[in-house]
Chains A and B, each alone.
Chain A
């Protein structure tokens, strides 16, 4: 089995290659079909792993040595353990569903071939990132998905805002990419290896506190930038400029989870730095709360979901931070399902409302689109973690409850719980505004094909049912997940007995409180007095604006200075221009000598003779 692992990222890569080379001949329709087939093939291979040997012990497939210079050795090794298996299942299967959805969604759009090329390349990059056993290979995948994200956000590049959003995402994530690379360098400088499986035991065996602190902070910044955590979250709401399918795949289900995944993979590293995990937990909980509060005031359907993604990712980081990485991973899985569902559904909603994103203009959609309504509602249930019947109830609430148990978990618990209230609030506010109320006149006729319905149905089923893999402790029912991952990630703290029951109850109460909040908010919104009038919340606590005002400005100023001073005056003016003008001037002077006068030529000959005569002095007899 192991020797076939390369096929998993290989298929989408092949698809991208074929698309790039022969896409012109295939035509957009076949480009799309080809592109959709590739992740399906990948997910079939993943399925084969599930059904076959499983990933216990971890599967290793060393393809070849990429480069080897001294002790700098990069083996192209793919590694699949249980955690990875979850990730590649999400990436390939959700990726396939989104490819499928795109067939109808993007039909007739400009740049279809480009879209499918980048989508395939993205899936390949994501799979490489997750399967890499080597930090450099991981970084390769990391950069690939960053590039594809940039290209896909700017997919409708003819709109200046879209191109700007793509640039913003790229620049912000680049900061993280750079720090990640620096962190990798630091680790290599200390431990002379880039292989994760050999690095982590070394870290615990020979800790180097200062260096590990620096490296883990640098790597964490990389993860935060990729996963849009506070304060690097500013790119994600703007990235909603891309097609909804892209938001579903990249900015909800897969790429943004790469940061969480990185933290889980390098948990040994973070654990070796005292206080690091606690900081991650607090920051995660804070992000969850903060983004949820912002989501409550958005009027763009996709921006609501964007803030929700930031918030949910915060929960995942919180899970990692409190020492419950398996719960974090569980929530990652659940979130991938329901967020992909919500984004695709919102894409459909936007199409129905003729490209209007504003939820205040919507309403009563449940009468015209019952299928869409029920699937969307399933997603909203999952997001709001409605007790018992939604998956997130079993993942997110588990994280919040677990945080109550760990030492120093008070702050994360409080933030997480209030975040949960707000989450249910914005989720139901969105649902009430769009689907309830009286029908809006704006909606146009729109018929979803099977290509769109099947993915939605599958994801809706998963959003409801996948949580039943892992019931709360002490409850009857399966407890598969945590125990399955325990060999790799350990057992999370789990409240039992009365304490557990109380915590579960509090969580459920929070959800219902949130639903009430959402109903209230939706009503006020309809009346025109909604939370969206609160600039503070709507603008995301003014953080975006502040950062944009604070950081780029000095860079621009520096850039202007460099352009004016160094580039124009120095390089262009003195070096290049001076050189050019100097050459031109001397050439001109020389050409003046070539004036056709034979006697002038004779003069230059005699001058040369004089020069040679003077040289005689240099060599005395």
Chain B
């Protein structure tokens, strides 16, 4: 069972990364991050099951709480970006970047 949980975690990890790396929308980026957190949850619980210890669940609970906490300001930022920069596109955030040097 632990192996299956770990496989599921790996699956979550890769899909989460894929969402971050491949998708265009910022919403999917944040969803991807949530999937990564869930992979962490699975691994933590698998660890708890492996060592027959409650600390795995404690860790999982903290991860859950903190991922939720991190999401709230991120979504608030997302809304502001949509309003003020008019885009939800990850490629649209290009005010800040290395400019081509003029004097070369």
Q: Which of A592, A598, A602, A606 contacts B93 (CB 8 A)?
A: A598
The distance from the CB of A48 to the nearest CB of chain B, in whole angstroms, is: 69
- Please tell me which stretch of B40-48, B54-62, B94-102 contacts chain A, meaning at least 4 of its Cβ atoms lie within 8 angstroms of it: B94-102
Contact check, A596 vs B96: say whether CB atoms are below 8 A apart.
yes
Which A residues are CB-close (under 8 A) to B98?
591-592, 594-596
With an 8 A cutoff between CB atoms, is A496 at the interface?
A: no
Number of interface residues of B (CB under 8 A): 12
Interface positions of A from 459 to 474, Cβ below 8 Å from B: none
With an 8 A cutoff between CB atoms, is B21 at the interface?
A: yes
Number of interface residues of A (CB under 8 A): 11
Contact check, A602 vs B20: say whether CB atoms are below 8 A apart.
yes
Which B residues are CB-close (under 8 A) to A591?
98
Interface positions of B from 13 to 46, Cβ below 8 Å from A: 17, 20-21, 29
Number of A-B residue pairs, CB cutoff 8 Å, is 31
The distance from the CB of A585 to the nearest CB of chain B, in whole angstroms, is: 12
Contact check, A596 vs B95: say whether CB atoms are below 8 A apart.
yes
Contact check, B21 vs A602: say whether CB atoms are below 8 A apart.
yes
Contact check, B97 vs A594: say whether CB atoms are below 8 A apart.
yes
With an 8 A cutoff between CB atoms, is A611 at the interface?
A: no
Look across to chain B and name the residue whose beta carbon is closest to the beta carbon of A609: B17
Which A residues are CB-close (under 8 A) to B20?
599, 602
With an 8 A cutoff between CB atoms, is B11 at the interface?
A: no
Interface SS of A by simple majority: helix
With an 8 A cutoff between CB atoms, is B5 at the interface?
A: no
The distance from the CB of A174 to the nearest CB of chain B, in whole angstroms, is: 44
Look across to chain B and name the residue whose beta carbon is closest to the beta carbon of A596: B97
Contact check, B94 vs A595: say whether CB atoms are below 8 A apart.
yes
Which A residues are CB-close (under 8 A) to B94?
595-597
Contact check, B93 vs A596: say whether CB atoms are below 8 A apart.
yes
Contact check, A606 vs B17: say whether CB atoms are below 8 A apart.
yes
Which B residues are CB-close (under 8 A) to A594?
97-98
Complex CA distance for A596 and B91, rounded to whole angstroms: 8
Which B residues are CB-close (under 8 A) to A595?
94, 97-98
With an 8 A cutoff between CB atoms, is A7 at the interface?
A: no
Which A residues are CB-close (under 8 A) to B29?
598-599
Complex CA distance for A592 and B20, rounded to whole angstroms: 20
With an 8 A cutoff between CB atoms, is A603 at the interface?
A: yes
Contact check, B17 vs A599: say whether CB atoms are below 8 A apart.
no
Look across to chain A and name the residue whose beta carbon is closest to the beta carbon of B26: A598
Complex CA distance for A592 and B95, rounded to whole angstroms: 15
With an 8 A cutoff between CB atoms, is B85 at the interface?
A: no
Q: Mark A589-621, 1 if CB is under 8 A from B, else 0.
A: 001101111110011001000000000000000
With an 8 A cutoff between CB atoms, is B90 at the interface?
A: yes
Look across to chain B and name the residue whose beta carbon is closest to the beta carbon of A597: B91
Look across to chain A and name the residue whose beta carbon is closest to the beta carbon of B32: A602
Given contacts A597-B90, A597-B91, A598-B90, contact A603 B21 (CB under 8 A): yes
In the complex, 21 of the A-B residue pairs with CB atoms within 8 angstroms, ordered by the A residue number, are A591-B98, A594-B98, A595-B97, A596-B93, A596-B94, A596-B95, A596-B96, A596-B98, A597-B90, A597-B91, A597-B93, A598-B29, A598-B90, A599-B20, A599-B21, A599-B90, A599-B91, A602-B20, A602-B21, A603-B21, A606-B21
